[in-house]
Amino acid sequence: MTVFHIHIQGIVQGVGFRPFVYKLAISQGLNGWVNNTNDGVHIEINANKATAESFLQEILDKLPPLAVVTSATIKPVGDKDFKGFEIIQSEGKQKPNLLLTPDVAMCEDCRRELHNPKDRRYRYPFITCTNCGPRYSIITALPYDRPNTTMDKFKMCPVCWDEYNNPLERRHFSQTNSCPDCAVELQLYENGKITENFTDLDYIVRQWNKGKIIAIKGIGGYLLTCDATNKKAVQTLRERKHRPVKPFALMYPDLESIRQDAHLSKKEEKELKSIHSPIVLLALKKHLENQLALNEINSGLTRIGVMIPYTPLYDLLLSTFGKPIIATSGNITGSTIIYDDKKAIDELSEIADIILMNNRDIVIPQDDGVVQFSKESQQKIVLRRSRGKAPVYINPNLKFDKDVLATGSMLKSVFGFSSNGNVYISQFLGNTETYDAQVNYEKTFEHLINILKPEFKAVVTDKHPDYFATRFGKEFARKNNIPVYEIQHHKAHFYSVLGENDLLQSNEKILGIVWDGTGLGDDGNIWGGEFFLYENKQIKRIAHLPEFDFILADKMVKEPRISALAIFHSYKELSEIIKPKFSKTEWNIYQKLLQNPPLKSTSMGRLFDAVSSLLFDNDLHHFEAEASMRLEQKAAELYYKNNFDLSLSYLKYSSRDNFLYKLIKGIISDINNGLDRKLIAVKFHLTLVDYIRQTAGKLQIKHLAFSGGVFQNALLVDMIIQHLKEKYFLYFHKEFSPNDEGIAFGQMVFLNE
Ligand SMILES: [Zn+2]
Ligand SMILES: [Zn+2]
């Protein structure tokens, strides 16, 4: 009888694909087999052409919930008679060609079983199924089968083994399958002692209630937790973690309890409940029902980072505790999240009173992802792409015909590569100025290369010679004797948003508005307030923020008051306002420096710093972009209550003089008139929107694409959409963050062009 061979690629492993095909084949009485290999799922069936094609169509129509298909082919392969239908053993000889499945938050079916006293997995903290549980974080090789995961060491009990082999069970071929009889076990570390097979979860809840700090191993690593309503506990956590100001994320028991404290839109709710289950930044309500230790958590910011339990363990703990906890990455501030148990004991016991470990090993650490939505237009802004998203990126319109490596940027390190035409983008790997993050970067790189075996033909790096990622890329190219290319930082940003929005083949002129803190420009200066033109597949810098003096290098980035000085010092009125921010000695030294500044800059991030320092005395950064966030918040408090429009722009009165001059003159006049500082902050934001409008107008460009860390500013994004959407086509990032996390993808796109 004729045999048809079907080959399906995409996210098809660790998602219950084989059992799904099996059931479908059985229900139609088809004979043949299905397997899982390094390059996807293969199926062979006895059928004529029409039946085989309709079988494939039905597969594609009914896919399991987590599956994503990027390609499916069908062809006749001779004659053979199959008896029945079976799932056959996976083999893995060819070069891997499939997408890795990200880690998936606990599904609703498992949640129900977890809380059902009659279920055999009642209150089992490691319940999973084919639709949920860890994947990327536990995989050691391909194809995704139990021996290629850290579940390998757990032998299934007879009941689990039956489930695993029974095509009618929802855990058929569930590689993470386990139960209380063949359990992943918890260990408790306290006072230098380890308790094996720890099961008393109420003990953890009691310790939270006593104000203890507890490190808990989750999917991507350890989180540091404590009662978010206990001021003293949160303060203690801050002190021990040496993190005085930067906001902490919270984990609430469920959506209902979040609604007690924060506003929750439909989109925000959907994002929280999604399989990625990230941290979502939410606007706080005026009246909080939970007695949050707000000052200790958020230092005056009005948005809080919130998530819901995405593992059964967190779900059990939080549903008993009934209140929000602090849930922040378990690391020494600035370093990579800790995921190894021994390291947790060595390093986290300085911070945590108790460490709750488990014996399911994590192969690759990942932080929680972070997302926000702008208030008015509900535009999604990714702030950190990590657990639940990495390491896949799917875009059928983007074809890579050779394997290339892009090494990314520095403060928000991420690398990306193509292999067999698939695109892989690593999780957020932190600031590779630190040794720890460098080690993690290399480890993650080696891990993915070992699994996917790309054959790189080229490497692309940032232009900045001193970035770890640049050195890493150059060294890799040298060792492998392949060419290495460079792309300027902000151009890579632009390529990133172009690639994500399928604009590379566009016949229209596209204006790239790339605004961020710092990036080395083609002329050796510090860029960051850039307008680029994309036309005939070329990128050209056509405008930029007027240059200002850049002094003191990193110190200027860390101290907004220095940006204020560098940008405003030649305006006498402002100089007087700024002067008290410095000691006499500082003032004299900096004045001298400004007479002969080493560099020029066009950084929009520094302009935000300067204005924030000038208007609200946000003079020092306790964490990245703090001054900008506080400026945004002040403006947002007023903006959303009023119908302000671009008539408030400082640019409207005169067509002479440059942007910066008009902006500063406008601010001076408003300060002199005693205008509400919040209104000046609104006007500053609106002036930037007007700056974009006027620049696009002058150049007669209708298509505007936005990238760079400044577009994490949700207020600015709302204003752009509100005031420019009528006349312009607007493109923002979708999957990737506008910040430097998106650079690696942009570098890849550049090389592919
Ligand atoms: Zn499940
Ligand atoms: Zn079992």
Q: Encode pLDDT of 589-638 as tens digits.
A: 999 999 999 999 999 999 999 999 999 999 999 999 999 999 999 999 99
CATH number at residue 206: 3.90.870.40
The ligand that comes nearest to the alpha carbon of residue 157 is 2
List, in sequence order, every residue forming a beta bridge with 751; answer none if it has no partner: none
Higher-scoring residue by pLDDT: 334, 223: 223
The ligand that comes nearest to the alpha carbon of residue 107 is 1
Helix then strand count (H, E) for the chain reads 24, 29
The ligand that comes nearest to the alpha carbon of residue 171 is 1
- pLDDT at residue number 655: 61
User: What pLDDT digit, counting tens, does each position of 554-578 carry?
Assistant: 999 999 999 999 999 999 999 999 9
- pLDDT at residue number 143: 86
Spacing, Cα 9 to ligand 1 middle (Å): 23
List, in sequence order, every residue forming a beta bridge with 40; answer none if it has no partner: 37
CB contact at 8 A, 15 and 101: yes
Spacing, Cα 111 to ligand 2 middle (Å): 17
How many domains in the chain? Answer: 4
Q: Are residues 364 and 379 in the same domain?
A: no
CB contact at 8 A, 46 and 79: no
Spacing, Cα 342 to ligand 1 middle (Å): 29
Q: Are residues 392 and 434 in the same domain?
A: yes
- pLDDT at residue number 93: 67
Does residue 191 lie in a domain region? yes
- pLDDT at residue number 142: 87
The ligand that comes nearest to the alpha carbon of residue 64 is 1
The ligand that comes nearest to the alpha carbon of residue 154 is 2
Q: Are residues 406 and 344 in the same domain?
A: no
Spacing, Cα 108 to ligand 1 middle (Å): 7
Q: Average pLDDT in the 668-691 region?
A: 97
Spacing, Cα 159 to ligand 2 middle (Å): 6
Look at the alpha carbons of 675, 678, 679, 683 in this order and tell me if their dihedral is positive or negative: positive
Q: Are residues 329 and 409 in the same domain?
A: no
The ligand that comes nearest to the alpha carbon of residue 128 is 1
Does residue 26 lie in a domain region? yes
Domain hosting residue 450, numbered range: 373-497+741-752
Q: Are residues 637 and 704 in the same domain?
A: yes
The candidate with the shortest Cα–Cα distance to 68, out of 13, 146, 5, is 13
User: What pLDDT digit, counting tens, does each position of 119-135 carry?
Assistant: 999 999 999 999 999 99
CATH number at residue 70: 3.30.70.100
Nearest-10 Cα torsion for 23, 24, 28, 30: -80
Spacing, Cα 107 to ligand 1 middle (Å): 4
Residue 226's Cβ-side half-sphere holds a number of Cα atoms within 13 Å equal to 26
CB contact at 8 A, 225 and 356: no
Q: Which amino acid is at 469?
A: A
Spacing, Cα 43 to ligand 1 middle (Å): 25
User: Any idea which residues carry the catalytic annotation?
Assistant: 18, 36
Look at the alpha carbons of 711, 713, 716, 720 in this order and tell me if their dihedral is positive or negative: positive
User: What pLDDT digit, counting tens, does each position of 179-222 carry?
Assistant: 999 999 999 999 999 999 999 999 999 999 999 999 999 999 99
- pLDDT at residue number 95: 79
User: What pLDDT digit, counting tens, does each position of 706-743 carry?
Assistant: 999 999 999 999 999 999 999 999 999 999 999 999 99
Q: Are residues 661 and 709 in the same domain?
A: yes
Spacing, Cα 426 to ligand 1 middle (Å): 25
The ligand that comes nearest to the alpha carbon of residue 151 is 2
- pLDDT at residue number 167: 82
Q: Are residues 428 and 465 in the same domain?
A: yes
Q: Are residues 450 and 562 in the same domain?
A: no
Q: Is the pLDDT of residue 91 over 80?
A: no
DSSP letter (8 states) at residue 129? B
Q: Is the pLDDT of residue 168 over 90?
A: no
Q: Is the pLDDT of residue 88 over 90?
A: no
Spacing, Cα 31 to ligand 1 middle (Å): 29
Q: Is the pLDDT of residue 388 over 70?
A: yes
CB contact at 8 A, 671 and 680: yes
Does residue 117 lie in a domain region? no
Does residue 163 lie in a domain region? no
- pLDDT at residue number 653: 60
Q: Which amino acid is at 86?
A: E
d(CA 721, CA 638): 18
- The residues, any chain, with a CB within 8 Å of residue 602's CB and separated by 6 or more, are 521, 525, 526, 527, 528, 529, 530, 544, 545, 546, 547, 548
Q: Could you tell me the pLDDT band of residue 656, with boundaries at 50, 70 and 90? A: low
Spacing, Cα 109 to ligand 1 middle (Å): 6
Q: Is the pLDDT of residue 89 over 80?
A: no
Does residue 447 lie in a domain region? yes
Pick the range with the lowest mean pLDDT from 247-256, 327-336, 499-508, 707-716. Answer: 327-336
Q: Are residues 428 and 566 in the same domain?
A: no
Q: Are residues 331 and 387 in the same domain?
A: no
Q: Are residues 473 and 570 in the same domain?
A: no
Residue 475 Cα to chain centre, angstroms: 27
CB contact at 8 A, 280 and 189: no
Strand segments, DSSP code E, in 444-509 are 456-462, 484-487
- pLDDT at residue number 92: 62
Residues with CB under 5 A from ligand 2 (ion): 157, 160, 179, 181-182
Does residue 409 lie in a domain region? yes
State which of 333, 368, 403 marks the end of a domain. 368
Spacing, Cα 137 to ligand 2 middle (Å): 22
User: What pLDDT digit, counting tens, does each position of 252-305 carry?
Assistant: 999 999 999 999 999 999 999 999 999 999 999 999 999 999 999 999 999 999
State which of 343, 368, 393 marks the end of a domain. 368
> Residue 464, exposed/middle/buried by CB under 10 A (0-12, 13-18, 19+)?
middle
The ligand that comes nearest to the alpha carbon of residue 312 is 1
Question: Is beta strand 416-419 parallel, antiparallel or unpaired with respect to 380-384?
Answer: unpaired
Spacing, Cα 129 to ligand 1 middle (Å): 4
pTM over 0.85: yes
Does residue 712 lie in a domain region? yes
Question: Is beta strand 526-535 parallel, antiparallel or unpaired with respect to 510-520?
Answer: antiparallel
User: What pLDDT digit, counting tens, does each position of 484-500 carry?
Assistant: 999 999 999 999 999 99
State which of 368, 383, 398 marks the end of a domain. 368
DSSP letter (8 states) at residue 302? S
Spacing, Cα 89 to ligand 2 middle (Å): 22
Q: Could you tell me the pLDDT band of residue 444, with boundaries at 50, 70 and 90? A: very high
Q: Could you tell me the pLDDT band of residue 407, with boundaries at 50, 70 and 90? A: very high
Residue 718 Cα to chain centre, angstroms: 21
Does residue 94 lie in a domain region? no
Spacing, Cα 177 to ligand 2 middle (Å): 7
Mean pLDDT (the chain) is 95
> Residue 14, exposed/middle/buried by CB under 10 A (0-12, 13-18, 19+)?
buried
Q: Is the pLDDT of residue 334 over 80?
A: no
- pLDDT at residue number 244: 92
DSSP letter (8 states) at residue 745? H
